[in-house]
Amino acid sequence: MDQVTIIGMDIAKRVFHAHGAHADGRVAFRKRLARSQVLAFFAKQPRCIVAMEACATAHDWGRAIGELGHDVRLIPPAYVKPFVKRQKNDTADAEAIAEAAVRPTMRFVAVKTEEQQARSMIFRTRDLLVRNRTQLINALRGHLAEHGVIAPSGTANVTRLAAAIDGEDGSLPPLVREIGTIYLEQIEVMDAKIADLEKLLRREAQLGAEKSRLQTMPGIGPITAIAIETFAPPMQTFKRGRDFAAWLGLVPVQHSSGGKQRLGRTSKMGQRDIRRLLIIGAMAVIRWASKRGAPEGSWLNRMLGRKPLMLVAMALANKMARMAWAMLVKQENYRDSAARMA
């Protein structure tokens, strides 16, 4: 009874706070730790549950503390907040983490491996470079628009801007052409780096059986397959495909009461990277079906005939998430693509 059964730890950069509790909930200790003292402290503790809020650095600490024999549990910060009593401070946060972790219905975040975090760095770096390239293109479009050069948005139309800057008709001032050349050089550098990262992602996507299996589904390519394996927990965590779709935020928001079901728009409360890529993949499938023509009587044909395009894309992304769960859990490739997706 006197043995510590759970330790809640509020992590930070330099100063950590630990809250130990017995099986009956009594406080065992409240301790302030320096960063260099954390692992030595847990090495002396009996094997117990160690709970932390899920954040960027929690996975590294989770792996290190787990190697000491403890049961590490990561909790989403939003689920810890209701357990904070009145004033918020590091000590109160550690106590709230410990109390939240012992709730029987609490949901936890799986500790990521080093390989998952390495792949997420590739993915996030590419995403950052794409945003920077878009920012450069939009800035150049805006500057040239002030001088009468108009071009549509998108990377495919950068050649129009380059032709206007390189033109010898003298329509642009020399200073504008000089500064515009700097923009074009930076965009070219971004293009090369993004292409290198995409080659790396495609190479990584060929290494695992699960990633190859996911790519058999229309609308899922190497980048989406990498994102699912990197950012999603093991599919066995979810009881059914609907749970995985809900975890991604591809289900309606509920405002139900009094036994009457009221559903709103898509929640967007889940993993944004996978959700965004699935929606992009669904739009690609819809464009392909619009050109080739979806089979009469198919689900997609009926939806396109009576629903807005974006709503159909969200619904198709939901179906893709549920099918991806089934493929990974049952260890099966995608089947009957013509009947389901076209």
Domain ranges of the chain: 6-101, 114-205, 209-257+266-341
* Better-scored residue on pLDDT, 316 or 268: 316
User: Three-class SS of residue 123?
Assistant: helix
Average pLDDT, the chain: 90
- Least confident window among 132-146, 284-298, 315-329: 284-298
Q: How far apart are CA 135 and CA 42, in angstroms?
A: 46
Which positions ≥6 away from 260 have C-beta within 8 Å? Answer: none
Which of 58-67, 117-126, 215-224 has the largest mean confidence? Answer: 58-67
Name residue 18's beta-bridge partners: 9, 31
6-101 CATH choice from 3.40.250.10, 3.20.20.80, 3.30.420.40, 2.60.120.10: 3.30.420.40
**Whether residue 7 has pLDDT greater than 90:** yes
Q: How far apart are CA 99 and CA 122, in angstroms?
A: 36
Q: Which pLDDT value is given to residue 2?
A: 73
pTM, entire model? 0.82
* Better-scored residue on pLDDT, 232 or 295: 232
Q: Which two tokens stand for residue 253?
A: 């928001």
Q: How far apart are CA 287 and CA 309, in angstroms?
A: 10
**Whether residue 297 has pLDDT greater than 80:** no
User: Rounded mean pLDDT of 281-304?
Assistant: 83
| Residue 342 confidence class, pLDDT cut points 50, 70, 90 | very low
**Whether residue 339 has pLDDT greater than 50:** no
Q: Which pLDDT value is given to residue 336?
A: 64
**Whether residue 193 has pLDDT greater than 70:** yes
Q: How far apart are CA 309 and CA 263, in angstroms?
A: 19
* Better-scored residue on pLDDT, 229 or 297: 229
**Whether residue 124 has pLDDT greater than 60:** yes
**Whether residue 337 has pLDDT greater than 60:** no
Which positions ≥6 away from 180 have C-beta within 8 Å? Answer: 140, 143, 144, 161, 165, 172
| Residue 189 confidence class, pLDDT cut points 50, 70, 90 | very high
